[in-house]
Amino acid sequence: MRLLRFACTLLVALPLFAQEPPQPDRTIDAAERRAVIDGVIDRLKQAYVFPDTALAMERALRTRQRRGEYDHVTSARALADSLTAHLQAVSQDRHLRVRYSFAALPADRDEDRPSPEERARARAFGQRVNFGFERVERLDGNVGYLEIRSFGFDPADVADAAAAAFTFLGNTDALIIDVRRNGGGSPFMVAYVSSYLFGPDSVHLNSLYWRPGDRTDDFYTRSVPGTRFGPDRPVYVLTSRRTFSGAEEFAYNLQALRRATIVGDTTGGGAHPGGMQRVTDHFGVWVPTGRAINPITKTDWERVGVRPDIAVASDQALRAAHLAALRGLRRQTSDPERQQALDRAIADVESGRN
């Protein structure tokens, strides 16, 4: 049960680790190397979403062990990096990583929910980053813009920030949502934010199959506070190669439902959720234990990424989406005054004055 708790709450683990400063290295001996390799293999065989791939990864690591490839690795950081590269070479799974921690990792607990201390730390971090809501503004031509940097928070904590953002955007005629710098998060927050882009009727967004428990969880839109943007006004989602995991799910779901136009680069290609599992006092492995199953496409974006509808370099995506929104609004209006305002906004964006 502990793994399932992590599977839905720590999908943002990789981007958060990436923000941490490098940790001091440690010297490791042969006994610790063996314990780490054995422990990683054990966790993968127990829970990796594709059992056959887990066995293939075991064979690959054991072959390298027999060849003595790890015998001279005395750096903890180098061992984690090597194992990550070797596991990904077999699985092609960018979520799968071995992690080293200089500080001793806490012992596993049996509870399937975060402790009060873990919840308090998560909420305190969320407050410092405004629960992923980085920027909200109104662009020329009455086009809304919202940048979301993370989907890695509990919807109960996100509610106030989300309601404030979408209420501010409530009178705009089109909306651009920027996830170019978003490395992922929880499917619960993805579904929560997506709910603002539909009406009150429940919409099936995605499903996740979990190998532990052999179960499938379905994710639907839900009731949300504040002002819904609703199902009718145009939405554009900006993506980059850094867009990953839960942020890819957000874009993929909306694209499959024909609710949003995706603008930018093809995304990173990580569709297997999971969580960090402790291996030894100083090593853990992020094990993908599930896979996405979109109700429309019946597949996901693993390895291939989310392909944009309007393909442009990510640093040009905002300009491209803004122009697409303005031109779309211009085609829809018959009001001469509104047409003139939109023509001016289009000219400003095209010339770079905006």
Give the pLDDT confidence score for residue 115 in this predicted structure: 81
Q: What span, in angstroms and rounded, lies between the C-alpha atoms of 15 and 103? A: 19
Walk along the chain (354 residues) and give the pLDDT tens digit of each residue: 333 333 443 443 333 344 456 789 999 999 999 999 999 999 999 999 999 999 999 999 999 999 999 999 999 999 999 999 999 999 999 999 999 999 999 887 655 677 888 889 999 999 999 999 999 999 999 999 999 999 999 999 999 999 999 999 999 999 999 999 999 999 999 999 999 999 999 999 999 999 999 999 999 999 999 999 999 999 999 999 999 999 999 999 999 999 999 999 999 999 999 999 999 999 999 999 999 999 999 999 999 999 999 999 999 999 999 999 999 999 999 999 999 999 999 999 999 877
Number of alpha helices (DSSP H) and beta strands (DSSP E) in the chain: 11, 12
**Separation in Å, CA 167 to CA 236, 294, 300:** 18, 29, 32
Give the pLDDT confidence score for residue 20 in this predicted structure: 54
pLDDT digits (tens, 9 = 90+) for 285-321: 999 999 999 999 999 999 999 999 999 999 999 999 9
CATH class for the region spanning 116-273+288-349: alpha beta
Domain range summary for the chain, segments of one domain joined by +: 2-100, 116-273+288-349
String of DSSP letters for 124-172: HHHHHTGGGEEEEEEETTTEEEEEE--B-S-HHHHHHHHHHHHHHTTT-
Give the pLDDT confidence score for residue 14 in this predicted structure: 38
Q: Which two tokens stand for residue 89?
A: 């070479």
Give the pLDDT confidence score for residue 112 in this predicted structure: 62
Nearest CA to 194 out of 160, 219, 167 is that of: 219
Give the pLDDT confidence score for residue 179 in this predicted structure: 98
Cα angle vertex 233, ends 232, 236, to 5°? Answer: 120
Determine contact, residues 288/273, Cβ cutoff 8 Å: yes
pTM: 0.91
Give the pLDDT confidence score for residue 106 in this predicted structure: 85
Count of all residues that appear for the chain in the document? 354
Give the pLDDT confidence score for residue 6 in this predicted structure: 37
pLDDT digits (tens, 9 = 90+) for 31-83: 999 999 999 999 999 999 999 999 999 999 999 999 999 999 999 999 999 99
Give the pLDDT confidence score for residue 21 in this predicted structure: 63
Give the pLDDT confidence score for residue 109 in this predicted structure: 64
